[in-house]
Amino acid sequence: MDRDKYMTKISKKDFNCDYFINLINHDRNARNTVIYKMLFNFDTIVYYHCYYVVASASNKRPTLYYVIAEIKLIKRKYLNN
């Protein structure tokens, strides 16, 4: 699924949070997309849902979220597209 489809689904009021928690804990590209949108998106509902998903997912698999330097790679990837 491309990043626009992720954001369309996550921006809905009744989005499936468990689906996204599972998705970002098993798919690096999805995780990068959700983290990027949490950091750089100005839509309040998208920010809030992304934050909630990342916070919940990181409680389940914290080692996936230790590497802060990866944010630079995510930022570079999306800003160059």
pLDDT, one tens digit for every residue, the chain (81 residues): 566 787 889 999 999 999 999 999 999 989 988 998 888 988 999 999 999 999 999 999 887 877 655 666 677 777 765
The secondary structure of 50-66 as a DSSP string is: HHHHHHHHHHH-GGGG-
pLDDT at 62: 83
**Tokens, residue 66:** 């230790």
pTM here is 0.76
